[in-house]
Amino acid sequence: MVKQRQIPKATARRLPLYYRYFTYLYETGIKRISSAQLSESMKVDSATIRRDFSYFGALGKRGYGYDVENLMNFFKEQLSQEELTNIALVGVGNLGQALLNYNFRKDNSMRISAGFDVNPDLIDTILEGVPIYDVKDLVAQVSDQKINVAILAVPSDHAQDMTDKLVEAGVKGILNFTPLRVTVPSGVRVHNVDLANELQALIYFINHYTDTDQETSMDEE
């Protein structure tokens, strides 16, 4: 993949959504779509879409719209979907097992290839085709398997310790499902997912905003 100049983070967050939607259009037999149709279907204003696409050059044609297959393949390349990404799952409790049950490979070129836990009933077992290791082996296994992306689904009081071990093993990206905001060195990226916060925010918006004020996270800059 040709390295692009750095784009705004808000645009980067929308790339997987563009890829998913163009893939959906392709699979339903749609060959092209106008800017207005794309905006209406994705609930993203057309100016945002045009601005996002402008960072990559001319992706559409005036009077023609967007070629669905070309855009699907383009975003697939940008997101490195042709390369299989192995992921470590740290914490195989209720949330961790739910993530194991989710089939990442169905629509994406990524898979959880190793799980880690302290529960002796889980260690040295296979869950959903994924081997579960003792957390004591985390650094060695993650390093040996050359895994550079991890999901953190452990109790908050263990989050920083597990993060430190992941960094030691060479992980460059962590999806953090714990409420704790972990500390990492420069060169390691953390994305925080707090389901309770998201639900609380949703309830607040329901109670305090009208439909005309509605916006989605895709539109946030």
| Domains present along the chain, CATH in parentheses | 9-78 (1.10.10.10), 85-196 (3.40.50.720)
d(CA 93, CA 95): 6
Q: From residue 74, give the alpha-carbon distance in Å to each of 24, 65, 82, 105, 136.
A: 14, 15, 11, 19, 41
pLDDT at 185 over 90: yes
Query: 85 or 182, which is more confident?
Result: 182
- Output the average pLDDT for the chain: 86
- pLDDT (0 to 100) of residue 63: 63
pLDDT of residue 143: 95
Instruction: Decide if pLDDT at 6 tops 60.
Output: yes
Q: What is the mean pLDDT of residues 157-177?
A: 97
In this prediction, residue 220 carries a pLDDT of 47
In this predicted structure, the answer to whether residue 19 has a pLDDT above a threshold of 80 is yes
CB 179 within 8 A of CB 117: no
Helix (H) / strand (E) containing 24: helix 9-27
Question: In the prediction, which pLDDT does 218 show?
Answer: 45
Least confident of 32-46, 92-106, 186-200: 92-106
Averaged pLDDT, 191-206 = 87
Query: Over 60: is that where the pLDDT of 213 sits?
Result: no
Answer with the residue of higher pLDDT: 199 or 63. 199
Mean pLDDT for the stretch of residues 194-205? 85
The residue ranges of DSSP E strands in the chain, in sequence order, are 32-33, 66-67, 85-90, 110-117, 126-127, 130-134, 149-152, 173-176, 189-192
pLDDT at 221 over 60: no
Give pLDDT, residue 2.
43
178-195 average pLDDT score? 93
What pTM does this model have?
0.70
Nearest to 18 by CA among 5, 41, 36: 41
Mean pLDDT of 142-163: 95
Q: What is the pLDDT, as a whole number, of residue 58? A: 66
pLDDT in tens, 86-134: 999 999 999 999 999 886 655 567 889 999 999 999 999 999 889 999 9
Q: In terms of pLDDT, which residue wins out, 186 or 211? A: 186
pLDDT at residue 32 is higher than 50: yes
